[in-house]
Copies of this chain bind each other. A is one copy, B any other.
Amino acid sequence: MLHVDTAKLLPANDSEPVAMPRLTPAEQPFPKLIGLDITEATPKRVRATLATRNELCRSGGTLHGGAIMSLADIVASCGAFLNLPEGAATTTIESKTNFIGAAKAGEPVFAEAVALHVGRRSSVWQTSVTRADGKLVAMVIQTQMVI
Which A residues form the contact surface with B (CB < 8 A)? Answer: 23, 25, 27-34, 54-60, 64-67, 69-71, 73-74, 77, 89, 91-101, 116-117, 121-122, 124, 126, 136, 139, 141, 143, 145
Contacts and interface: CB of A to CB of B under 8 A. Distances in A.
A94 B55 contact: no
A92 B23 CA distance: 32
A124 B31 CA distance: 27
Contacts of A23: 59
A32 B55 contact: yes
A2 B98 CA distance: 27
A28 B126 contact: no
Given A93-B99, A95-B96, A117-B100, A69 B73 contact: yes
A143 B28 contact: no
A65 B95 contact: yes
A79 to B, nearest CB: 14
Contact of A139 (B55, B59, B60, B141): B141
A125 B9 CA distance: 32
A69 B67 contact: no
Given A29-B57, A30-B56, A121-B121, A95 B116 contact: no
A98 B124 contact: yes
A58 B117 contact: no
